[in-house]
Structure 1
């Protein structure tokens, strides 16, 4: 079945589910993908560089505008009854659970001056939750695009990405950067998105895995993480303090030349945090250069080096992620690294297509031998960003 026919089937099912829940059909369907971060971890909130790509797993929302101020939110994975609130009395501090994401987007659109009526919304998704593939950003971006289109707001995709980030920061309470929303909004088939998180500029970098005979395997360790947890915030706060101690606006302003001074100035842990950010920015640049000049076969060792830095300097890995990476490399992966905010979630591995089944089986066997929960191993492709589904 082609991707187009799959979209059509899922669209019919989602339209039916919306009608069953609300008693009327939606005004339309909008989808936004999850993402894999190829390289550039925790650099986004340090005004650095990132290189993610949108994947062929997405969140789709069916939406219908109302004539009153009521919002009703329902989902294929939520409670039986919709979450309901009034736009004019909504308090961001009261938003909880999955509904905080679409409610936060509505709040931030209104803060941006969009004239927003009430609406009904139903969500379906095949982006794994808690796997480090940005299921939250996919939901935020799908909702933001749907409401912008229906209200005639005319906001650009980059502006909608900012709306999603502010919803996650201000309403959900997760101190994330802009990378996830940019990847979901600006992704393109067969490409990664090189984003400068200081000025918001972006460009597409070729990542044609099919022609190279490669696949990107995602290894979902089933160790769930949440950006609102303390580990992520602790790393961000450490970076802010280190930048202040070194007299720079953000760690983006440092290069490898500055590392000796950082080592003399900072305590040992803070220095390692800085070293990860500085060298990770460098790895993003080099990865983009190699993809353009030589193709995806050339970046394996950079992926490996990135994982070592996240494991040892930034300390955001976990035993399951380390095992996934080690087992993939030992059985044919060109390179492998954890992806996402860390403390669980997923690893990725670039693998020759002929070895993909062997690598997946080897990872599952290694997890079983350690007594870990069986991981979910699947391939993803670089895909288009958020759009209205026809």
Structure 2
């Protein structure tokens, strides 16, 4: 199947501040709570509050950094950032989820703190501030969250987006949302994660009641209406997978494996001369009539299905190791065997599933969407190897009680599952899931509600004047 031309969906690009009365009741109360907490902590009211939603990816896992599309939706839980300018030339930030405050200077170059520190996300946001305001003023921030960390729901990117938009708004800077999405995606690499741009784009560009198909390089979006009569259900596996911590190495390893696959495919398509492919999706520009499966078949002619090291791969391609490896230090030693073909197979097949999922949503065919989501989960488990025991048990439990398309969502290595549930069955679904999954994993008497919830797709980041 060829790549489909997409028209960019229309939305209000403005980040101009709204009034508190413009918000719906739950979000209004969360903003009021953040204002009260800010006053208690700093002794004054904030100037503004920014609400940046997390996201759940319906399908299109690990495709964004490979240049292929994704299909996420914004959830109705968010990072809330209350902010006010201060006289000191630094950023002081406190968080309800962190015991230690974050402090950041406003002088380039910013130096990262140790991996896993939440202050690195604040510094990533400051990078964007410095791009637009070379000599900014300092600010005091308070961060609160209704979004669980380490659940694969993009709490880290929502933190960067929420913090960055708050700092920009304090300086009366309101760049276009699509421009900011690319700026924040680049800035978050300060944390050390080689991520794509999905999380930042959906937090900024989401429209209520829709999933958002996002294509990259350049960034293009299309709103796809979510079917009425259903809820998206998110369920935490209780295994945290934070990309600033232990999961970062595993995530970056997958990026590296795809990069090697891309460079090998560039040799294959160029018939010995390496084509200038930066990402796997770039291959489609050279053979636009090919179905996506054919690129995998072409690579399989030179890359064995078993594990293969970069050195062995270079030998099979009849090129030097230096010609195969991308510039910079290798993420994985050249002698270490890697499942490169399996990783590439997942990416191309997952990209095709995104196309098919958009078509299913347009038709209102929820059953077809569910089958695609289940196929995505199997590929994430078998080809990309980002599932874990708890996720597999959670998917099995959800499937056994009638969930449509249960699958892991986000980077994997823990985190959450996503599935569709008929509106009338949501409470029964959660009651059964509490009994079959959460009761034996949570302390006696613990409430499972913070770990599972249903929603309809929400809107993107909002700035509220106080």
TM-score (normalizing by structure 2): 0.78
Contact 1:92 1:104 in 2 (8 A): no
Q: Return the offset for 1:24.
A: 1.7
**1:356, distance to aligned residue in structure 2 (A):** 2.5
**Match of residue 188 from structure 1:** 207
Q: Which has the larger radius of gyration?
A: 2
Quote the offset at 1:113 in angstroms. Answer: 5.0
Question: Which of 319, 324, 335 does residue 389 from structure 2 map onto?
Answer: 319
Q: Work out whether residues 103 and 119 of structure 2, in 8 Å CA contact, stay in contact via their aligned partners in 1.
A: no
Task: Classify the secondary structure of the residue corresponding to 1:93.
Answer: coil
* Mapped pair 1:336 → 2:406: yes
Other-structure match for 1:259: 296
1:1-390 pair list within 5 angstroms: 4-79=24-99, 82-88=101-107, 91-94=110-113, 97-170=117-190, 172-208=191-227, 211=228, 213-228=229-244, 229-247=248-266, 248-252=277-281, 253=283, 255-268=292-305, 269-367=339-437, 372-373=441-442, 376-389=451-464
Do 1:105 and 1:163's aligned partners in 2 also have CA atoms closer than 8 Å?
Answer: no
Distance across 1 between alignment mates of 2:434 and 2:299: 41
Q: Quote the offset at 1:83 in angstroms.
A: 2.9
The 3-state SS of whatever aligns with 2:454 is strand
Q: Secondary structure at the match of 2:70?
A: strand
Matches of 1:107 and 1:3, distance apart in 2: 29
Encode CA deviations 1:146-193: one digit per residue, 9 max, x unaligned: 2222212231112222232223202x1111110001111011111011
Structure 2's unaligned 5+ residue stretches are: 1-21, 267-276, 285-291, 306-338
Q: SS of the counterpart of 1:139? A: helix
Aligned-residue offset at 1:62: 0.7
SS at the partner of 1:94? coil
Deviates more, 1:329-338 or 1:180-189: 329-338
Q: CA deviation at 1:250?
A: 1.7
| Bigger mean CA offset, 220-229 vs 288-297 | 288-297
Kept after mapping to 2: 8 A contact 1:40/1:281 = yes
Distance 1:267 1:36 in 2: 34
Deviates more, 1:329-338 or 1:90-99: 90-99
Structure 2 CA distance, aligned partners of 1:260 and 1:85?
Answer: 49
TM-score, normalised relative to structure 1: 0.92
CA deviation string 1:318-342 (max 9, x = no partner): 1111121122122111211110000
How many residue pairs align between the two structures? 383
Considering only aligned residues, what root-mean-square deviation do their CA atoms show, in Å? 2.1
- Pairwise CA distance, 1:61: 0.6
Q: Is the 8 A contact 2:110 2:123 kept in 1?
A: no
Check whether the contact 2:79–2:159 (CA below 8 A) recurs between aligned residues: yes
Residue ranges of structure 1 left out of the alignment (5+ in a row): none
More helix by share: 1
> In structure 2, do the counterparts of structure 1 residues 154 and 121 end up closer, same or farther at CA, with 3 Å as the change threshold?
same
8 A Cα contact 1:73 1:83, kept in partner: yes
Q: Distance in 1 between matches of 2:376 and 2:362?
A: 19
